[in-house]
Every structure is written in C-alpha cells, then in structure tokens.
C-alpha cells in the first residue's frame, strides 16, 4: 500500500517529537514534512533536535535530514498532525484546513467549536459526521478534528463503559498531572522538585466542559451536550510521564463492584476497525491495591490505555477509583494519530 504522507506542525515540541517517534515504522503513514516556528525553520531536524530530543529512543533516521519548514499551507502531505503551541495554533490550523488539508490537532483552540469533532475513537466516532457540516459552513475544502485535553481523554475512556451501562449523573475528579504535560522546557525545576503545584491554568474548566461535548448526541447538524455535573481539581506533580486521576461517580442506575469491573473489562468498541495504534484493551483494570502507578503502568498498551484500579464504594457519590493515562501518548501524540487512523478508515483522507 502506498503510504499516506503526513506533515507535522510543532514537530520540535514534546508532543511533536512523540508523533515523530510513534510514526517511525507506521504501516499506513510516513512523515514527509515537518514544520515549526521561524526560530527553528530552515535547519535540518537533527540540527535543531540533537540537543533537545527528550523522549528516549534516537531521532528516527527518516526525519533527521528533513528541513524544518515554516507553517505555511504549501506542504507536500495528505494530512496535517498539529502539535502547535496554542498561542499560534488557531490561525495556522485554519489556514491549512482552508487550503484543503485534513488537520488532526492536539491544540485546545478549536476543541469547543460547534462544528469541530472533539474526538476519541472509542467514545464518539459518530461525531465525524460534523466534518461535512464544518466544510459546508466554512466553505473549506479541508477540515479540523481535535483531541480532547490530555486529562479529559483518559477520564472519558474510563467513564464511557459506565455511561453506556449505568448512566452517569455526577463526577468529581482530582488530577495529579505529569511535568511533561506543560511542554518544553515547561515548569521551572525549582518549582517542580519536592513539590505539588495546585493550579494548572484553564485545566479544570477543560475537564469540566469537554466531556459534555464528547458524550453529546449528534442531532440536526449539531452536537447537543450531555448534562453531567463534573467538578475537577488539578495539580501538577513531579512525575515525568503519566497523569493520575482520583475519580468519584454518581450513576443513574444501581450496580455493584463486579458489574463495574465487568463493564470496564468488556469495553472494546472499535476492535473490529483494526486501527494500528488502537490498544488491544482500551481499559485495563488492575486488582492490586497499590496500582496503577506511573512508574509501573504508564506504558501499558504502548501508552494508549486508561489504566484503572482501586474501585470501591464512595460515601458521597456511588463509586470511586483511580485512573492513569500517558499524557504524551494517549493524551496527545498517540490520540492524534489514532484520530487520523479513524479518518483514514472512514475515507476522510
Ligand atoms: P511545546 O513543547 O512547547 O512545543 C510547541 C511547538 O509549537 C514547538 O514545535 C514550537 O516550535 C511550535 N511553535 C511555537 N510558536 C510557534 C510559532 N509562532 N509558529 C510555529 N510554530 C510555533 O508544547 P507541547 O507540550 O509539545 O504541546 C503542543 C500542543 O499540544 C499544545 O497546544 C498543547 O497544549 C497540546 N497538548 C500537550 C500535551 C502534553 O502532554 N504536553 C497534551 C495534550 C495537548 P519551535 O521549537 O520552533 O519554537
């Protein structure tokens, strides 16, 4: 099969690096173009990144000699994966969509726009239906689909089987989020080491609103948001990769602990699509009381699963549990790639 050519915007940031790493040897996609700011454009990727590459394995040979370009919509590619800083993503991504490129983005800018799918393939693949409406309304030949926030993705993956089986009325979530979630260079080391920071700008608002759109129903060319009360508190902790969340839920229908674990374990709604980056099990339930932990579990299913543990009764709502997800993989780069794979099998690329 001829591979689909991918252009990566923001290729020099931590999410961009992860996209490049995850696409090495991808069966459907190959990177043909990389772009970033004028600070780095004009140099080869290796010249820019040899001193900055921060995610483990070496820079793939296939991209070392690619020249970093400006983010102008003249790139030789079939789809754009965007890992742009949100201060610039809005205009640049729109420019690409206007010029006919499909854009799968990590940035927050377009997430809550009415006609932009806020996509998690296992949760709301039917929201792809908004693409046609988006193109008609905006007169674009391309389009934009967005990843939810990194904490929202793992939260929604965990909630979806409960939502389907029992209904959800209320959610309380407290996050402990990794330093890599703040990009590079991110949080100053003297603020991070030996510390917990109890504020992440805009994060609580995203976690409280994005799931309502994601669980919303597509009707009459609109997404009607679901009504779930969500209260979030977010903290930055001195962990490199992996956001943890302590979650309590109030369900619409009663069940017991076994019923919930069964719903988690049976959850695999897009198995038949055989998307290359999809985890075999999108949810892994661990029975040991001291799991999940970022150090031990964050790479399960190549960083693409929501790992859950510590399910027990909650004295205020119904049940509580802990969820862990890889913020840079499932919460960002891997999520954008999985969205692109879903676009491909639905003939949007
Ligand atoms: P980052 O490390 O700060 O990287 C930002 C990227 O944007 C760099 O490639 C940078 O290029 C580029 N950029 C900045 N200003 C630009 C400009 N004027 N024109 C063109 N490119 C420009 O950030 P990140 O953590 O990778 O995050 C990337 C995006 O993903 C953000 O929107 C973020 O909110 C979102 N996100 C991040 C995570 C996470 O866990 N980190 C999770 C979910 C979503 P230069 O190197 O040339 O400056």
73 with 100, same domain: the answer is yes
148: cis peptide before it, omega within 30°?
no
Four-CA torsion 348, 114, 138, 30, nearest 10 degrees = -30
218 with 135, same domain: the answer is no
Nearest to 124 by CA among 59, 21, 28, 218: 218
Are 163 and 171 in contact, with CB atoms under 8 Å apart? Answer: no
Helix/strand/coil for 265: helix
Would you name the residues annotated as active-site residues? 150, 243
155 with 107, same domain: the answer is no
> 275 C-alpha vs ligand 1 centroid, how far in Å?
26
156 with 114, same domain: the answer is no
Please give the order of strands across the beta sheet that includes 4-9.
Answer: 68-69, 29-35, 4-9, 79-82, 102-105, 143-146
Q: How many domains does the chain have?
A: 2
Gyration radius from the chain CA atoms:
19
Q: Which domain holds residue 80?
A: 4-148+332-345
> 87 C-alpha vs ligand 1 centroid, how far in Å?
9
316 with 336, same domain: the answer is no
- At residue 198, the pLDDT reads 98
154 with 51, same domain: the answer is no
182 with 304, same domain: the answer is yes
199 with 93, same domain: the answer is no
160 with 144, same domain: the answer is no
12 with 138, same domain: the answer is yes
Question: How far is it, in rounded angstroms, from Cα 216 to Cα 77?
Answer: 32
According to DSSP, the β-strands at 243-251 and 168-177 are: antiparallel
Measured at the alpha carbon of residue 199, what is the angle toward residues 329 and 82, in degrees to the nearest 5?
A: 35
Read off the DSSP letter of residue 281: S
- At residue 57, the pLDDT reads 82
Question: Ligand 1 in contact with 184 (CB < 6 A)?
Answer: yes
186 with 276, same domain: the answer is yes
Question: How far is it, in rounded angstroms, from Cα 220 to Cα 204?
Answer: 30
For the whole prediction, is pTM greater than 0.95? yes
167 with 134, same domain: the answer is no
Nearest to 153 by CA among 196, 201, 111: 111
- At residue 184, the pLDDT reads 84
CA-184 nearest atom, ligand 1:
2
Query: For residue 88, what is the domain's CATH number?
Result: 3.40.50.720
Query: For residue 315, what is the domain's CATH number?
Result: 3.30.360.10
CA-40 nearest atom, ligand 1:
47
Question: Ligand 1 in contact with 199 (CB < 6 A)?
Answer: no
Question: Ligand 1 in contact with 187 (CB < 6 A)?
Answer: no
Chunk the chain into consecutive blocks of 10 residues (it has 349) and report each block's average pLDDT, rounded to whole numbers.
95 96 97 97 97 89 97 97 97 98 98 97 98 97 98 98 98 97 92 97 98 95 96 97 98 97 98 98 98 98 98 98 98 98 98
């Amino acid at each position: 099969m001829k591979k689909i050519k991918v252009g990566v915007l923001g290729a020099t940031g931590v999410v961009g690096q992860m996209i490049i790493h995850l696409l090495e040897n991808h069966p459907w996609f190959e990177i043909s173009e990389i772009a970033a700011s004028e600070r780095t454009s004009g140099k080869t990727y290796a010249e820019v990144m040899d001193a900055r590459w921060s995610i483990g394995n070496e820079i793939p040979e296939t991209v070392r000699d690619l020249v970093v370009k400006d983010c102008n919509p003249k790139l030789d590619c079939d789809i754009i994966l965007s890992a742009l800083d949100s201060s610039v993503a809005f205009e640049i991504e729109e420019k690409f969509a206007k010029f006919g490129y499909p854009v799968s983005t990590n940035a927050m800018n377009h997430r809550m726009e009415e006609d932009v799918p806020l996509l998690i393939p296992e949760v709301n693949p039917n929201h792809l239906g908004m693409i046609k409406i988006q193109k008609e309304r905006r007169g674009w030949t391309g389009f934009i689909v967005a990843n939810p926030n990194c904490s929202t993705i793992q939260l929604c993956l965990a909630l979806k089987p409960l939502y389907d089986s029992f209904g959800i009325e209320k959610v309380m979530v407290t996050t402990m989020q990794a330093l890599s979630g703040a990009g590079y260079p991110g949080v100053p080391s003297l603020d991070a080491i030996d510390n917990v920071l109890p504020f992440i700008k805009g994060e609580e608002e995203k976690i409280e609103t994005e799931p309502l759109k994601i669980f919303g129903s597509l009707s009459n060319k609109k997404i009607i948001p679901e009504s779930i009360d969500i209260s979030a508190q977010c903290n930055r902790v001195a962990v490199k990769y992996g956001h943890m969340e302590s979650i309590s839920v109030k369900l619409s229908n009663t069940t017991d602990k076994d019923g919930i674990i069964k719903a988690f374990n049976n959850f695999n709604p897009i198995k038949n699509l055989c998307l290359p980056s999809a985890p075999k099990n999108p949810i892994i339930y661990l029975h040991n009381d001291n799991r999940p932990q970022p150090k031990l579990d964050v790479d399960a299913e190549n960083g693409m699963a929501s790992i859950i543990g510590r399910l027990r009764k909650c004295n205020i709502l119904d049940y509580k549990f802990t969820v862990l997800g890889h913020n840079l993989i499932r919460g960002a780069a891997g999520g954008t790639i999985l969205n692109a794979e879903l676009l491909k099998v639905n003939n949007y690329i």
